[in-house]
Structure 1
Amino acid sequence: MRARAGAAGAIAAALLLTGCGGAAGNAEADFEADPTGALSGWGFENTDDVGQARLDHAAAQLEGVEITLDQTAFDAQKFTTLAASGSMPDVVQIDRQFVATYAAQGLLMPLDACFAANDVDPQQRWYPQVVQDVTWEDQVWAVPQFYQPPLILTNARVMEEAGVEASDLDPSDPVSLIDAAEAMSATEGGSISRVGFDPQGVSKAAMWMLSFGGGIVDESGAPTLDRAENVEAAEFLQQLYDAQGGFAEVSSLVDSFDLFGDENPYVTDQVGAAVFDQWYVNVLTPYAEQVEIGAVPLRDQEGEDFTAAGGSSFVIPAGAANPSAACAWALQLTSPEAWQAAAEARATTTEAEPERLGINAGLFTGSPESDTAIRENFASAEGFPGFQGAIDSYYDVAAEGTSLGGSPAGQQIQTELQNAMQSILLGDSSAEDALAAAQEAAQRAYDQVSTE
């Protein structure tokens, strides 16, 4: 299911806005000024009902601001090129995981003054782990939006056939989980025909390491890829794949899944359980009469419910031409009122589109206040207890999220981690050796950006 990583961004972030500027101007930003004049954003694409409702709300609150949007997707190379030229727009949306990377390069404005000028307390508006995602050197550098907590999405038909109970899918009991995955997997003609449990071992490696008590960066943002707990997590993932036929075989089948179509793996029973972010419940909604899903929270090695924070954010470039409007706009887009408007729009869409079968999976905003209101007033899957249970489980686990941590070398650390995991899971290198090599390369990258 590696293909879903890119799709997740499009679904979870219905609203994409991007921009940055030159390195000058941080100290001169006047966030107290009334938001007026021209405001530019880059990366606005794939606007759905949720994104449009928020845009409309923000525009109505900032009548003196003329907003122009570039409808192309964020691109890291373009970002740095435009930053060097000083010709970036006023607002940029990037993955929260990489906020510290650009902040350390002097490309972003710290937003503490933005929040203060608009009477917004980040710790009150957003989950603490979400704020931690965009905090670096004791300053907050972004306005968060969305929060996609992963958990284990189960296929009740396959579990029943294999004699597997929900309690068997407990990461705090790795042996039980591996046995359950093996029991649910199947082969046909000598090839894997069903994945028992897909842990997303490469794309979610950092999350698994956190669940084992490790982590890929320390509090300063320095890489810690070779921690003993990380090695243990990687070895567990290798054993999990090996029990199902090996990483190469499992990945080959996963890559063939019709993830968004009529032959998706929960309709065809090609998977027994898998780690999925909340957005995939929306994908399965039209197939609610054909699938039997459920949900099991991830757990850490102490047996406590666990998930990892993830999502996008708005940042304002150093040297932005209109920082006060950029700040006000980003805060309006993420206000409780904006999310209320978005929830109402989604409710209207749910009612108007029969293929949704009346299921409203809710919105996961990054804000506990908005999440609670949307859950209570809109989230519902009447007549489909499996979907209702999954929706409730995602909401319940959101508060248990842990930040993956930010780093000035965040992108390079992730690259080294994923390369190492590929090597480990394919059996080309031991976990200890691969993560040691990755740590060495990541440390060099960190040392370089930290001393510039």
Structure 2
Amino acid sequence: MRARAGAAGAIAAALLLTGCGGGGGEEAAAEVDFGAAASGTLAGWGFENTDDVGQARLDHAAAALEGLTVELDQTAFDAQKFTTLAASGDMPDVVQMDRQFVPTYAAQGLLMPLDECFAAHEVDPAQHWYPNVAADVTWDEQLWAVPQFYQPPVILTNARVMEEAGVSADDLDASDPDALIAAAEAMTVMDGSSVTRVGFDPQGVSKAAQWMLAFGGGIVDEQGMPTLDREENVAAAEFLQQLYEAQGGFAEVSGFIDSIDIFGDGNGYANDLVGAAVFDQWYLNVLTPYADEVEIGAVPMRDREGEPFTASGGSSFVIPAGAQNPGAACAWALELTTADAWTAAAEARATTEEEAERNGINTGLFTGSAESDEMIRSEFASADGYPGFEEAIAAYYDVAALGTSIGASPAGQQVQSELENAMSSALVGEASPADALAAAQQAAMRAYDQVSGG
């Protein structure tokens, strides 16, 4: 929570520095020849911990753009640092950042719109990326970033625990909240007042926005204005409150979940410490070394009509308004997200998955592009001999095309921060869901008014 609050504070500082509705990015983009050959030196920032997938794509782009010298600052994106660079005018040419930051900085004139970049390279965003992924970086009818990656959450199930409790996958359906709560309670094990097994972990704080969408709500409207206190959002928060109460209470459940070694031998699926949980696709990779010890499955989250549902999230490349080599930044960012780049990444990951500890399981890659995802799924993704993993891989791929954007807002990070604070308050019983979300709405609107000019 402190890290997110710090990021929101840094963005608020940026708003004070730049004022409201700055047009610097659009003016800068108008001067760029995005169709020119990439050359010179490109400065990039935000590329911390480049793994096999990232390095394969960097190598591909280097081979494709031979006239370009790339210098990367391989540290993590930091909102305070971005604010400082914006104030000093010493911006890199391309920055990797979470998509939720993009509309905030775009609204302040700190980024270049990339519609002309896409047009110059004959990239149709509507065809290249899932609609919800493109929507994440769309603001004021323009696109402000090159998206990459997309981690659709689903419900990973523990077959042993479910069978023991007499629970089926059909019970884990938000269109029947009472049945889902009953299933969670049946799978939960208590030792007095202490939880020793969590029936269902919904990630009620970090995934609150997704649950609200599933209940027909949403945290921002089409214009990016906060809508945290919507009736549907309150209903989702009340459901999550009841879900935790049925399992011993939010404090007990979250404390127990935090104690689990989710990345190692003490993980909840190998040790039957959880019956089901909402997890992004990356967690399936974590479980592959334990394929002989777990009995997993997967079902998509469902909305109030019972339809499969997920929400987008991921990172992106942006070109700051003060970039010195924006044309090359455009070409480089797009090259990193071509089908050929993702093929190179999939081949690199396939080599990793051949390691003995991975049990021959390749869970695929989720790129943000439907075309690349389908290619990787058909050519690389497999889990021979492990039907539970095959089911989970299929669930993630099948739901990816059904995603909904959480929504783009110039106050997006502040809205998310206020939402998480409100959910924590409601779930521990400090305030009712309605009161917590009403207070969060007021705070989020203050941030939004500061950005939009009120």
TM-score (norm 1): 0.94
Cα deviation for residue 25 of structure 1 reads 2.1
- 1:40 and 1:319 mapped to 2: Cα distance? 12
| 2:137 maps to 1:129 | no
User: Hey, what does 1:50 align to over in structure 2?
Assistant: 53
Counterpart amino acid of 1:296?
Answer: V
| 2:164 maps to 1:161 | yes
User: Hey, what does 1:444 align to over in structure 2?
Assistant: 446
Q: 2:420 aligns with which of 418, 424, 429?
A: 418
| 2:366 maps to 1:364 | yes
User: Hey, what does 1:375 align to over in structure 2?
Assistant: 377
What's the secondary structure of 1:195's corresponding residue? strand
| 2:265 maps to 1:259 | no
Cα deviation for residue 135 of structure 1 reads 0.2
What's the secondary structure of 1:274's corresponding residue? strand
User: Hey, what does 2:327 align to over in structure 1?
Assistant: 324
| Counterparts of residues 341-420 of structure 1 (less than 5 Å) | 341-351=344-354, 353-420=355-422
User: Hey, what does 1:308 align to over in structure 2?
Assistant: 311
- 1:299 and 1:348 mapped to 2: Cα distance? 35
Cα deviation for residue 26 of structure 1 reads 3.0
- 1:334 and 1:277 mapped to 2: Cα distance? 21
- 1:405 and 1:155 mapped to 2: Cα distance? 32
Q: Contact 1:147/1:364 (CA < 8 Å) preserved in 2?
A: yes
Q: Contact 2:46/2:97 (CA < 8 Å) preserved in 1?
A: no
- 1:118 and 1:84 mapped to 2: Cα distance? 31
- 1:212 and 1:317 mapped to 2: Cα distance? 37
Structure 1: gaps of 5 or more residues = 6-21
Q: Contact 1:98/1:406 (CA < 8 Å) preserved in 2?
A: no
| Residues 132-191 of structure 1: CA deviation (Å, up to 9, x unaligned) | 010000000000000100010001111011110010111111000000000001112541
RMSD (Å), alpha carbons: 1.4
What's the secondary structure of 1:25's corresponding residue? helix
| Residues 297-326 of structure 1: CA deviation (Å, up to 9, x unaligned) | 101101111000111111100121011110
- 1:447 and 1:189 mapped to 2: Cα distance? 49
What's the secondary structure of 2:414's corresponding residue? helix
Q: Contact 1:26/1:319 (CA < 8 Å) preserved in 2?
A: no
Cα deviation for residue 347 of structure 1 reads 1.2
Counterpart amino acid of 1:446?
Answer: Y
TM-score (norm 2): 0.94
Greater shift in the superposed pair: 43-52 or 174-183: 43-52
What's the secondary structure of 1:130's corresponding residue? helix
- 2:32 and 2:107 mapped to 1: Cα distance? 18
User: Hey, what does 2:15 align to over in structure 1?
Assistant: none
Cα deviation for residue 44 of structure 1 reads 1.6
Counterpart amino acid of 1:52?
Answer: Q
Q: Contact 2:91/2:322 (CA < 8 Å) preserved in 1?
A: no
Cα deviation for residue 29 of structure 1 reads 2.0
User: Hey, what does 1:277 align to over in structure 2?
Assistant: 280
User: Hey, what does 1:107 align to over in structure 2?
Assistant: 110
What's the secondary structure of 2:155's corresponding residue? strand
| Counterparts of residues 8-23 of structure 1 (less than 5 Å) | none
User: Hey, what does 2:234 align to over in structure 1?
Assistant: 231
| Residues 239-281 of structure 1: CA deviation (Å, up to 9, x unaligned) | 0000000000001001111010111111111100000000000
Total equivalences in the alignment: 433
What's the secondary structure of 1:408's corresponding residue? coil
| Residues 78-132 of structure 1: CA deviation (Å, up to 9, x unaligned) | 1111111111211111111221011011110000000000000001000011000
| Counterparts of residues 55-70 of structure 1 (less than 5 Å) | 55-70=58-73
Kindly, what percent of the aligned residue pairs are identical? 75
Greater shift in the superposed pair: 87-96 or 208-217: 87-96
